[in-house]
């Protein structure tokens, strides 16, 4: 069956084969967090995006493969409940932005800043810092070394969802920061076909969301 991105907590992962990279999306925990296991199709090397909950299911997804790193998209507790256990059992490096690293339950091995890259074997994802939901929220963009330039893949954590930006607690300054970063670092640089994998719920595309940016600005959240 074709990938849809529609997953339910307790249900099986949805798997998508990209050029150079396999994406497995799994919903975990009581807040239906999305965890994404990325695997290099050449080497088999793996990176987990958000060890959010249910460590046993995440470890089952990894299986006997080599998990080299765990990326935490931001510091909110529901995105790292399984981090300590998965890291302890795999020995994976822990990656996060410095502005959110201090709140994680394990030491961060590598600090990620805007413009850095994350390696998944031969595959490479670029780091996009999106301030506002939390100070150190990041997204990861994959375009297979430019081969997917017309349709990149973007893992946004809680910074962008179908229907708008992530929660900024109705703080005008935080909302403005997030909207500025989304417009300047995401919408201005990536095409409409960019597939968006959020931290909760269903996927979307930048093309589906772009027409609504003025509405988001007007409503203030």
Per-residue pLDDT of 178-220, as tens digits, reads 999 999 999 999 999 999 999 999 999 999 999 999 999 999 9
CA distance 111 to 104: 12
* pLDDT for 1: 62
* pLDDT for 56: 98
What number is the average pLDDT over the span 91-102? 98
What number is the average pLDDT over the span 2-11? 95
* pLDDT for 47: 98
Q: What end-to-end distance do the CA atoms of the chain give, in Å?
A: 36
SS (H, E, C) the chain: CCCCCCCCCCCCCEEEEECCEEEEEEEECCCCEEEEEEEECCCCCEEEECCCCCHHHHHHHHCCCCEEEEECCCCCHHHCCCHHHHHHHHCCEEEECHHHHCCCCCCCCEECCCCCEEEECCEEEEEEECCCCCCCCEEEEECHHHCCCCCCEEEEECCEECCEECCCCCCHHHHHHHHHHHHHHHHCCCCCCCEEEECECCCEEHHHHHHHHHHHHHHCC
CATH numbers and ranges of domains, the chain: 14-219 (3.60.15.10)
Structure confidence by residue, pLDDT tens digits, 106-130? 999 999 999 999 999 999 999 999 9
Q: Is the pTM of this model over 0.75?
A: yes
CA distance 137 to 185: 13
């Amino acid at each position: 069956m074709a990938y849809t991105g529609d997953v339910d907590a307790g249900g099986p992962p949805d798997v998508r084969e990209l050029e150079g990279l396999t994406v497995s999306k799994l919903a975990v925990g009581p807040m239906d967090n999305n965890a994404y296991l990325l695997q290099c199709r050449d080497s088999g090397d793996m990176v987990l995006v958000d060890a959010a909950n249910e460590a046993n299911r995440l470890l089952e997804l990894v299986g006997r493969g080599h998990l080299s790193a765990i990326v935490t998209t931001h510091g909110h507790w529901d995105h790292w409940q399984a981090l300590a256990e998965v890291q302890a059992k795999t020995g994976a490096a822990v990656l996060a932005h410095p502005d959110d690293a201090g709140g994680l339950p394990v030491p961060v091995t590598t600090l990620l800043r805007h413009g850095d890259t994350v390696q998944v074997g031969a595959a490479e994802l670029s780091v996009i810092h999106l301030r506002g939901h939390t100070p150190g929220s990041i997204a990861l963009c994959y375009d297979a070394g430019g081969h997917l330039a017309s349709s990149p893949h973007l893992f946004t954590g809680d910074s962008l969802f179908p229907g708008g930006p992530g929660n900024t607690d109705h703080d005008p300054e935080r909302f403005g920061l997030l909207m500025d970063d989304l417009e300047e670092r995401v919408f201005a640089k990536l095409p409409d076909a960019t597939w968006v994998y959020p931290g909760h719920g269903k996927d979307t595309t930048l093309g589906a969301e772009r027409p609504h940016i003025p509405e988001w600005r007007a409503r203030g959240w």
